[in-house]
Chains A and B, each alone.
Chain A
Amino acid sequence: MARNDIVAMILAGGQGSRLGALTKHLAKPAVPFGGRYRIIDFPLSNCSNSGISTVGVLTQYQPLVLNTYIGNGQPWDLDRNDGGAFILPPYQKSSRSDWYKGTANAIHQNADFIDGYDPKCLLVLSGDHIYKMDYAKMLRAHFDRNADATIAVIEVPWEETSRFGIMETDADGRIVDFQEKPAKAKSNLASMGIYIFTWDVLKKALQEDEDDPKSSNDFGKDVIPRMMAAGANLQTYRFSGYWKDVGTVESLWSANMDILDRPDDLNLFDRSWRIYSRNPVKPAHYVARGARLQNTCLTDGDIIEGEVDHSVLFHSVVVEAGAIVKDSVLMPGAVVQAGAYVQKAIVGAGAVIGKKARIGFASVGSSPYLSRICSDDITVIERGLQIRAKADIPGNCMVEWRDDLSEGNVVERRNPVR
């Protein structure tokens, strides 16, 4: 791909409030996923594998983890002489300064950055989906159809159409109508939040959007409808394959489980389309005598002495002898101490489950940590928390740091997380 064909912008500023404690300290795109990745590794690797060499990452909410993680872009081969990976936070300007008010406004505020590369097209991505996609093919379709904008779409089950932006197209795939989260959908083609715009056209549309005081400055809600009303050539690009929004506790958990239960769908083993990530620099994992592993993913630095069934473990996780872990996601450096029982939990980085503590042993129970964000009996433990020995935490809990550390609290203390 020629360098000035396309620049990619990843919208990574969202809080992801439906993930509760998991996004307390970091933005949603930085949430660990799939054993050795963070969510943003997927769009970044897709860009790199598609031959896109200039990628802006728009950050706003809790950007520090994301900033240090992306660094100069080297793990994704995005440390380039001309182009590369760039973190783009909101910045102070001579006349006025603003936070990013919406997705479209975030791009508008960085129009000068994009102009610096003089691209024909702009690829706009969101940092909260798990999928593998060749954007080069989509760009080719965009050029072939002489489109002003091309929106990637995927067929979703009819009963779920009310959760998505739905595209109605003519026989050739040109968009004729667009409904945001319709009660009664006319099509089941959902927008994946992946847009290619002809940059000149978009720049004008963004300025118009900016001049409209009533606009919420959002691509889906404002810019696309405006372009359609103005008669722009909006095309769809059909994608089929694994694609999952991981915006909720349940969807994050089940997407992790997909790696175990449907390994060929996402196929992380595919050498022709690797997903890159920053390397933790740890030794190979060690499985002790007496350990038991069934349908589980392990990665560097793990030490397993206990029993792990149907779980995804990130690097440097320790499961001590006599501990049992089932249907869970253990993030980097989590420790499950001897005799503890962990079921259907997402355990944050560096959290320690004390000896003989039980998480999710009873799927239903009472706890001050019961949370509406958690569903399907999944429990979340905030990173760094030390869970008291013999504590009993039922399903559907969001265990977060609270200043009250009386005996009754299942949290004993908080450990620093690097």
Chain B
Amino acid sequence: MFIDAMGLILAENRRLSLGELTSKRAQAALPFAGRYRLIDFMLSNLVNTGISRVGVVTFNKYRSLMDHLGSGKAWDLSRKESGLFILPPNAQSDSLSSSGDIGDMTAVLDLLRTSHWTHVLVCGANNVFTTTFDDFYKRHVDAGADVSFLYDTDGAEANRSATVLTTDKAGWVKEILLSPESRAGMKVSLDVMLLRRQLLIELLSDAIARGEHVLSLDRILRRHTHLRILAQPFEGVCLRIHSVESYFAATMRVLEKPVRKSLFWSALPVYTKVKDEAPSHYCCGCEVSNSMISDGCRIHGRVEDSMVFRAVTIGARSSLKNCIVFQDAYISEGCELENVILDKACFLRPGVKLVGQAAYPVVIGKGAVV
């Protein structure tokens, strides 16, 4: 379908923190579901909608993100005219502030001004779902809205700092609430917004003029009460990732059949960086149950209710239950792990025992030798 829009992904939600998992990487670069990083889902959604220019707005810690995205080829976004634009903060910006925050918006403005698409889809990267924005776009245009928000009502999963919308019966937004106390049953934003490019330029320029340098559109929009803002419901499965606990819970939900189906088998491909790992080898004596495992692994031991990323070795007589193991981890023989998140390239010596709680998993930092 033809969509007259470009995309803008905000790679970092500064109201959220995922502790050690994002101490060395942008939130959008957080590994998820075995072979992806969070940003893959929104990038794929945009590409599957037919959008060919995407800006990725980063704040800091963007090295892992740049390494992951490269030229954008894996998402078909290595293009001549359009394609992928990574927008790190510009420390030499003309902006007045000398804080580390400056320049988010000036780089975005440059990209917006040099684009020709009428609309912009502004998205976060912390919510995982698979869809196209065709219907969202069509309803927005048909209704003559200035801005459209995508929301769902699964407030229980939302975080404390979520953006909540109150609307009239037709779905027009009456109020945008930031971090309200009660969220159950309310319309919680999925951090997907659609608006005219020209309007976005005006809003951002205005915000800069008022001394704001952090791109937070829902905050900015609260000031512009004259705008017609439409709230549109999202009906599919959405996993919200805003803390270590919600990350852990979301991963476990991916193992459920309806969630797997909705994310991966809807006929819309989810693209990610290609690694060319060999097929995984399930060796004699392994026992695997209700788990997702990626390519390049060697499994000798027991794996239950777990998510295993690429090129992981699990030694004989080792046992994993409710674990998330990032790529290149090596688990020696006779280890016992329960409710553990093992970051990239960790090495566990033989016989290591690590037990966390389901509601509070143990996180072992990147490259740790235990």
Q: Which of A253-276 contact B (CB under 8 A)?
A: 259-260, 263, 268-269, 274-276
Complex alpha-carbon distance, A282 and B298, angstroms: 19
A296 at the interface (CB under 8 A from B): yes
Complex alpha-carbon distance, A286 and B259, angstroms: 13
| Chain B residues, CB < 8 A from A259 | 279
A321 at the interface (CB under 8 A from B): no
Q: Which of B287-308 contact A (CB under 8 A)?
A: 288-296, 298, 303, 307-308
B170 at the interface (CB under 8 A from A): no
Say which residue of B276, B278, B286, B296 sits within 8 Å of A293 (CB atoms).
Answer: B286
Q: Cβ of A285 and Cβ of B276 under 8 Å apart?
A: no
| Chain A residues, CB < 8 A from B260 | 283, 286
If A283-B34, A284-B294, A285-B293 touch, whether A294 touches B286 (CB-CB below 8 Å) is: yes
Complex alpha-carbon distance, A180 and B240, angstroms: 66
Q: Taking CB as reference atom, which chain B residue is nearest A279?
A: B274
Q: Cβ of A287 and Cβ of B35 under 8 Å apart?
A: no
Q: Cβ of B282 and Cβ of A295 under 8 Å apart?
A: yes
Q: Taking CB as reference atom, which chain B residue is nearest A301?
A: B264
| Chain B residues, CB < 8 A from A300 | 35, 294-295
| Chain A residues, CB < 8 A from B284 | 294-295
Identify the interface centre among A260, A269, A277: most chain B CB within 10 Å of its CB. Answer: A269
| Number of B residues with CB within 8 Å of any CB on chain A | 36
| Chain A residues, CB < 8 A from B282 | 293-298
Complex alpha-carbon distance, A35 and B279, angstroms: 6
A interface residue count range (under 10 / 10 to 19 / 20 to 34 / 35 or more): 35 or more
A417 at the interface (CB under 8 A from B): no
A366 at the interface (CB under 8 A from B): no
Interchain nearest-CB distance for A260 vs B (Å):
7
Interchain nearest-CB distance for A186 vs B (Å):
40
Q: Cβ of B278 and Cβ of A268 under 8 Å apart?
A: yes
B369 at the interface (CB under 8 A from A): no
Interchain nearest-CB distance for B278 vs A (Å):
4
Q: Cβ of A286 and Cβ of B292 under 8 Å apart?
A: yes
Q: Cβ of B292 and Cβ of A284 under 8 Å apart?
A: yes
| Chain A residues, CB < 8 A from B35 | 283-284, 300
Q: Cβ of A295 and Cβ of B295 under 8 Å apart?
A: no
B263 at the interface (CB under 8 A from A): yes
A36 at the interface (CB under 8 A from B): yes
Say which residue of A75, A269, A287 sits within 8 Å of B293 (CB atoms).
Answer: A287
| Chain B residues, CB < 8 A from A281 | 269-271
Contacts A283-B35, A297-B281 supplied; 4 other A-B pairs, CB < 8 Å: A281-B271, A284-B307, A284-B309, A296-B281
Residues of B within 8 A of A (CB): 33-35, 73, 255, 260, 263-264, 269-271, 274, 276, 278-286, 288-296, 298, 303, 307-309
The 5 closest A-B pairs by CB, nearest first: A284-B34, A35-B279, A268-B278, A283-B264, A284-B294
